[in-house]
Structures are given as C-alpha cells and as structure tokens.
Structure 1
C-alpha cells in the first residue's frame, strides 16, 4: 500500500503567511480643542459681561458661541466618548449645550419674555451653576488645573445667577472678570497640552 501525504490543515499554515487584521485608527486627543473652544468663547463673552466692551457687541459673542462654543466643543466631547473617556466627554458636550442654549436665549427667546425675565435668567444660570458644582466634585480626581477651571466656572455661574436674581450690574461685572481668569486658564491648559505633545517634552507645566 502506498502512503499518502496528510492533508494540510489551517494549523499547519505558517503564521507569517496569514494577513494581519488592519489596526483600527486611533483618535487624537481632543482635549486641547475643547479647552481652546471654551477659552476663546468665554474670553469674548467675559469682555462683554465685565463691561470692558459695550453690550451692543453681544452678536459677536453669539457667533463664537455657535461656531466654537457649540460646534467644536461637541466634536471634542464626542471624540472623548468614542475614546471611552466619560468625564471630558460629558464636560464638552454638556457645555456645548450651554453655548447653544445661551445663543438661543439671548437672540430669540429672552426678547419674548414679558414677565419675570430676571428670575428665569437667574434660574438658567443657577441650573448651570449646580451642574458645574457636581462636575467640580468629579474633577477633584483629575488634576489641579482642571479643578481650578471648575472652581472659577462655578464662581462665574453663582455670581451671574445672583446678579440676575437681584438685577445687580456690579455682580454681573464681577462674574465677567472671574470668567476672564477662567478663560485665560483654559487657554493656557490647551496650549500646554498641544505644545508639550508636539515638542514631546514639558515646555509648559500643567499641574
């Protein structure tokens, strides 16, 4: 009887001849984008809130609120969620909602309010203050810079809400100056992340 060669099996195929599965493309870090979007929008808004620029310039704030505060922040947030990063994903998508709702309120709905306008504006700001407060609690497990950004942001919302309820221009201006500091810190953090990444070493410290 003549011996026959055993049939080849998948296990006998050398591994080097099996094509490797294509690696899924990695998402870049959207954190500096979200911070820059917030920082730029907030800085321009703060210049009006503080009284440094006349309130008649508010339409310029709304353009940034929609193009940067809303659009690019929501992009950053969705990418964070895609990367499995819930905290920054929630931060950027939620505050994207703030910028959109702020633009809609100022441009379309506030002029329609005929009673209790100060009260409803105060409640709008207070609701965001409460949200920012529990996000601050979550931020305590991140880093010092993020905590500082949320501390300042909470102060902005509480001061602005109190100013709206009491119809106090002074408190509104104070909230604007605090927002200037918050926007500057967010922009610094954005710069630190992207500069340190591209230089592959720490040029701008980010505690």
Structure 2
C-alpha cells in the first residue's frame, strides 16, 4: 500500500504530496475538504465513450447512436464538468482543465444530435456536414494531444488513455472526411479500449481513497 505524505507548508499555504501519489501532473495541493472527484469524472467519461464506441462498431446491429444524447448531456457532460469544477479548489490544474473540457465536448456533441438545436438542419449538403464534423473532431484530437504533454513523463496510465483517445478521435475524423465505415469501426475499437482504460484508472483512484481496500491497482506513476 502506498502512503501519501502531507507536510503542511504555511508559507505556501498548501500541502506537499509524495511523488508516488496518484496525481497525474502536480504534486502540490491546496488544503481542501473536497474529496477526489477523479473517479466520478473518469467513470462518466468511460461510460459515455464506451457506449458511443459500441454504436460505432455496430454492436447488435445498431447504426443510430441517438441514445447517447442523454449520456452525453448528463454523464459525460454534466458530471465531468462538475468534476472539473471540484478539481479547481483542490489545485489540480490538469484535472480541472481536462474534466471540464471533455464535459464541454460531450455536451456540445449532444447538442448537435438534438433536433431542436437546429445544428444538423442547418446543413443542406451532406458533404459539408461531414466535413464540419470532421473538423470538429480534429480540434478535439489536437486538444487531446496537448493533454498528453503534461503527463507523458509522470503518469503511464493517463498517457496511454489519452494516446488511445487521440487515435480514436483522429480515426473518427478521417471517417467523416472519407465516408469509410471501416475507419469508423476502427475508431470505435480504439474508443472501446479508451473507455476500458478510463474505467481502470477510475477504479484505481477509488481504491486509493479507501484505507481498507482489499487491493491496490497500479497506475504507473513515475517519480520526479
């Protein structure tokens, strides 16, 4: 069991955490009574990503993915946004930025599928619509690659998670540009793996919060 050492630093007004703590980027934390919101954000992200990816590979013959709207608004969207907001007072810059960003991603994606939004109805040309969706996915591919940079030398699990997510987004963008269903399925496969990795990290962080957990799940956190 890995123990976290917390030494109060009155001059800085924060607590220093041991380098082995389950922290993807910064080992500094401001004193806070807020529990770790990471598992809530990770499980919401994992569930929404996994479900949409199952649709992308046409599991059980499903080709219409609109059931994802509710998940994207409330799980992948709202819960992740809340997780990001709770990370801000804890001093976790990476967690706050990543969770709130992907929460916005899922809510914006859900908005395009809601008929009342008028987003899809605004495109009379299918080619223009697919190109617009492709560019939308490329933007989030770029954002995901940027998220890899802060964690690549400190946190193996998050590095793998974001790497698979970036490939999934890139493949889905290519599928929109080319109209190739096989590429969509490939993106779905990478999305399924991404969801499973996010579940793994969420379980690990939840176990780490329990003093009497029957097991610890390693994340591959490297020392500074």
1:112 matched to 2:112? The reply is: no
| 3-state secondary structure, aligned to 2:184 | helix
* Contact persistence 2:208–2:216 (CA under 8 A): yes
1:55 matched to 2:68? The reply is: no
| 3-state secondary structure, aligned to 2:111 | helix
1:65 matched to 2:62? The reply is: no
* Contact persistence 2:32–2:89 (CA under 8 A): no
| Alpha-carbon distance, 1:150 to partner | 0.4
1:144 to 148, 156, 162: 156
Separation in 1, partners of 2:84, 2:177: 31
Name the residue aligned to 1:96: 103
Name the residue aligned to 2:209: 197
1:169 matched to 2:181? The reply is: yes
More strand by share: 2
Separation in 2, partners of 1:144, 1:88: 15
Separation in 2, partners of 1:31, 1:99: 17
Structure index of larger Rg? 1
User: What TM-score results when the alignment is normalised by the length of structure 2?
Assistant: 0.77
| Alpha-carbon distance, 1:200 to partner | 4.6
Unaligned runs of 5+ in 1: 1-23
Q: How many residues align?
A: 183
Q: Deviation per CA, 1:117-143, whole angstroms, max 9, x where unpaired?
A: 111010010011111111111221431
Q: Deviation per CA, 1:99-131, whole angstroms, max 9, x where unpaired?
A: 011001122312431121111010010011111
More helix by share: 1
User: What TM-score results when the alignment is normalised by the length of structure 1?
Assistant: 0.84
Separation in 2, partners of 1:60, 1:198: 34
| 3-state secondary structure, aligned to 2:35 | coil
Unaligned runs of 5+ in 2: 1-30
